[in-house]
Amino acid sequence: MGHTATAQAGSGGLTATEHRLANGLRVVLSEDHLTPVAAVCLWYDVGSRHEVAGRTGLAHLFEHLMFQGSGQVKGNGHFELVQGAGGSLNGTTSFERTNYFETMPTHQLELALWLEADRMGSLLDALDEESMENQRDVVKNERRQRYDNVPYGTAFERLTALAYPEGHPYHHTPIGSMADLDAATLEDARAFFRTYYAPNNAVLSVVGDIDPEQTLAWIEKYFGSIPSHDGKQPPRDGTLPGTIGGQLREEVREEVPARALMAAYRLPHDGTREADAADLALTVLGGGESSRLHNRLVRRDRTAVAAGFGLLRLAGAPSLGWLDVKTSGGVEVERIETAVDEELARFAAEGPTPEEMERAQAQLEREWLDRLGTVAGRADELCRFAVLFGDPQLALTAVQRVLEVTADEVREIAAATLRPDNRAVLVYEPVEPAEADADAGTEDGVDADAHEEAGK
């Protein structure tokens, strides 16, 4: 079955058709003949929010295992075949999904589809103890290099653990803990694959210089015979009150270059008009060098060397407004925090000026158009809206929805959420190496990692 490719109002002329195979695989196609390339994007509806206690990090570990060979492709063959054909590829894991993607010359599209189907249909033929141990070590080393052994590296997992209470599906982040990575067994990985890597738990999008009829024929040929699986359990409920209800705070004494103030504010779920309003508020406040916080802290007061405020959009739990300020010289964090609260209170009372509103909407519009303007970015957004919100067509009108938000809505969401009683705060205090080692010896670890893991 398919929908006609009629451009919707506000879609900028972009079109997409939807189809579904008998085994449940959802397919989204979008023609774009500007350049002779095609993007293939496959989203599986599984991320760290689906994991259980004691097995954190399994979704990300499995993303790595998907590049270790399948029934007809041995070892590193997926990379070798795609890159040998002039294409590029990768995969990432987040709280809410795992995705795999290739961008290929048009005449090599069939190869990319065959490779993704071979992994979906026959990965267990190649999954063994050797590949499991190999990728377990790779992921553990990634955690060391990107999180444990870099300045401020554990900030995201610490703030996430504060913002989402113990037992919440978003309390831990995709990288998982060292202990859980060590505990994962080959049978855990096999069960994970059987449960989540099924066609009825996936969306496949193909965007670019394609012949839709031929593309659908290839998809049916390679994916159509893969059986569906009905054993998946829904993720645990991520519902929380709209605000935290009090400030949560943690001080981290580590060997870092400068003091830092980081905070996470609980904001509306992705896919809502309120989330778009929050995105605009954070763009005015901390989105670039023209933002209020940059002008106040970096340019005027010169108390910070960097100040940013951005939105981590989440569909299954409250989104997070992410504040990150690095102090200048010996400036105390208390001084920074006072200035931030003054700016947030002023914004909540007055809202954005017309000029700020226009600039913020233009900035978000450009970011959206940048994503939709490339075949890979559009393929990813079509999958995202299909998996998280049930309708890939929403990706094509997202820009228009941002532009429809009013200044009053932006002020209202800021007044309701950007308050001291709705944030988790992390304060970094620099220490000498010897002192940092002593602190590390007595400090409890946090089982978590970054929002999105680029696996390769």
pLDDT in tens, 35-49: 999 999 999 999 999
Q: What is the pLDDT of residue 435?
A: 63
Task: Tally the C-alpha atoms within 13 A of residue 184's C-alpha that lie toward its C-beta.
Answer: 31
Dist CA 405 CA 412 (whole Å): 11
Closest C-alpha among 54, 78, 187 to residue 129: 187
Structure-block tokens of residue 295? 């002008």
Average pLDDT over residues 7-23: 81
Report in angstroms the alpha-carbon separations of 114 from 102, 107, 108, 121, 219: 12, 13, 10, 10, 8
Q: What is the pLDDT of residue 444?
A: 30
Structure-block tokens of residue 452? 């999105």
pLDDT, tens digit, 9 for 90 and up, residues 223-254: 999 999 988 888 889 999 999 999 999 999 99
Among 6-20, 122-136, 289-303, 307-321, the minimum mean pLDDT is found in 6-20
Average pLDDT over residues 188-199: 94
pTM, entire model: 0.92
Number of neighbours of residue 320 by Cβ within 10 angstroms? 25
Dist CA 268 CA 168 (whole Å): 17
Q: Which residues pair with 200 in a beta bridge?
A: none
pLDDT band at 6, cuts 50/70/90? very low
Backbone angles phi, psi at 289, to 5 degrees: -75, -10
Q: What is the pLDDT of residue 99?
A: 98
Mean pLDDT of the residues in the chain: 92
Backbone angles phi, psi at 418, to 5 degrees: -90, 65
Q: What is the pLDDT of residue 382?
A: 98
For the chain, the residue count is 456
Asked whether the predicted pLDDT for residue 442 surpasses 80, the reply is no
Report in angstroms the alpha-carbon separations of 244 from 269, 320, 418: 14, 11, 11
- Catalytic-labelled residue, pool 63, 102, 116, 157: 63
Q: What is the pLDDT of residue 449?
A: 34
Q: What is the pLDDT of residue 197?
A: 96
pLDDT band at 433, cuts 50/70/90? confident
Q: Which residue has the tokens 């103890």?
A: 129
Inter-residue contact 324 to 362 (CB < 8 Å): no
Average pLDDT over residues 317-325: 98
Asked whether the predicted pLDDT for residue 280 surpasses 50, the reply is yes
Dist CA 209 CA 109 (whole Å): 10
Dist CA 342 CA 142 (whole Å): 39
Q: What is the pLDDT of residue 443?
A: 32
pLDDT, tens digit, 9 for 90 and up, residues 137-159: 999 999 999 999 999 999 999 99
Task: Tally the C-alpha atoms within 13 A of residue 279's C-alpha that lie toward its C-beta.
Answer: 25
Chain Cα centroid distance, residue 214: 32
443 is known as an active-site residue: no
Asked whether the predicted pLDDT for residue 388 surpasses 70, the reply is yes
Dist CA 25 CA 177 (whole Å): 32
pLDDT, tens digit, 9 for 90 and up, residues 368-383: 999 999 999 999 999 9
Q: What is the pLDDT of residue 436?
A: 56
Dist CA 271 CA 133 (whole Å): 39
Instruction: Compute the Cα dihedral for 198, 62, 456, 384 and give only its sign.
Output: positive
Q: What is the pLDDT of residue 231?
A: 81
pLDDT over 70 percentage in the chain: 92
pLDDT, tens digit, 9 for 90 and up, residues 51-101: 988 999 999 999 999 999 999 999 999 999 999 999 999 999 999 999 999
Closest C-alpha among 13, 119, 224 to residue 5: 13
Closest C-alpha among 201, 191, 195, 192 to residue 223: 201
**Single-letter residue type at 5:** A
DSSP H or E segment with residue 350: helix 333-350
Report in angstroms the alpha-carbon separations of 60 from 108, 118, 161, 450: 28, 20, 18, 11
Dist CA 194 CA 406 (whole Å): 46
Structure-block tokens of residue 21? 């195979």
Number of neighbours of residue 141 by Cβ within 10 angstroms? 10
